[in-house]
Amino acid sequence: MKRISIIGGGTGLSVLLRGLKKKTEDLHAIVNMVDDGGSSGRIRDELGMGPPGDLRNCLLAMSEADPLLDELFNYRFDQGSLSGQSMGNLIIAALSKLTGGIDHALYQAASIFNVNGHVYPVTLEDIRLFARLQNGREIIGEAIIPQIAYEENSPIEYVNLHPMRPKAFKEVIPVIESSDIVLVGPGSLYTSLLPALLVSGVKEAILRSKGVCIYTANLMTQAGETDHLAISDHLRVLQEHLEDNIFDGIVINNRVLQPDELKLYELEHAEQILPTPMDRKYFQERGIEVAEGDLVCRQDTLIRHNFDLTSDIIMDLAQKIKDKK
């Protein structure tokens, strides 16, 4: 049985977990903790605890409990003082107070909701995301960074954690070091992936691991965050921030989406990300194995990774890399 760890946050992480939980019973989600918007931001500010939103989504994705749980956890109040609050976030907040911390709350929630695997905050420290734009402006706050970058038409140049180099949660480093497969992404480059990878010891644990490290490329760009960036640009940004290449392989969607599939995303100023000859040259020069395929599925008007097909291609690529080592 392979130990698989996946690092990041946001929708992309939780979507992929739904496929990965079918591949192993030794699955570990390591979640960034800089979210300060929406329901998570309110709970964070009012209760003085870590943001529960991405943790909640990972628990749901890995749960084998009754489907009604998904509806309950995702239910949002639409009136009164609780307007906009997620029921799942409130449950995790209550468990955190009852058990003495968000880490204990996750253990209890995993047991109660029959979670197939483990979910960890990457750190328990109170951290925020710092960004510097190309125009020199400096911003603190994950939720507002892409918005300001877009409004000022100034790309993100650099991000870091504030305070810098927070201590990793006690189980994160041993889990990464002992993983057969370490996955990064899919997820927002600057506001989901880097905030997890920049926590003290995470990059070093990946480099020490005897397993393979694979990047799952995003399907679309994000306004104010990755406008016009190619896949190789995503890896370049990661390498510049981490000062190391941590990746052995990359998984990429290569199906061209139809105009009707992209209508909603055009309104959000997002573009499809597809591999180019420049990308393939970049990967070849750095010894990064590439696996491509039609990895897209539609959920109503939303474009998402097909979690079963993506998980299949990840497992095949990991084995191919291992056989070459």
Q: What is the pLDDT of residues 148-193, one digit of tens each?
A: 999 999 999 999 999 999 999 999 999 999 999 999 999 999 999 9
The candidate with the shortest Cα–Cα distance to 196, out of 12, 43, 3, is 12
What residues does CATH 3.40.50.10680 cover in the chain? 3-28+166-324
Element (DSSP H or E) covering residue 119: strand 118-121
Q: Decide: 27 and 21 in contact? Cβ < 8 Å.
A: yes
Q: Check residue 65 and give its pLDDT.
A: 74
- 3-28+166-324 CATH fold: Rossmann fold (3.40.50)
Tokens of 35: 């979210």
Q: Counting beta carbons within 10 angstroms of the beta carbon of residue 98, is it exposed (0 to 12), middle (13 to 18) or buried (19 or more)?
A: exposed
Report pLDDT for 6: 98
What single-letter DSSP state applies at residue 80?
G
Beta-strand pair 181-184/118-121:
unpaired
Provide the pLDDT for residue 46. 85
SS3 3: strand
The answer to whether 296 touches 303, Cβ cutoff 8 Å, is: yes
Task: Give pTM, 2 decimals.
Answer: 0.95
Output the pLDDT for position 18.
94
Tokens of 321: 């890399």
Q: Which residue has the tokens 């290449």?
A: 245
Q: What is the per-residue pLDDT across 17-37, written as a single tens digit (0 to 9) for each?
A: 999 999 999 999 999 999 998
Q: In what order do the strands lie in the sheet with 138-140?
A: 138-140, 128-133, 156-162
Characterize the bridge pairing of strands 138-140 and 156-162. unpaired
Positions of the chain with pLDDT lower than 70, given as ranges: 1
Of the candidates 225, 233, 242, the residue with the CA atom closest to the CA atom of residue 12:
225
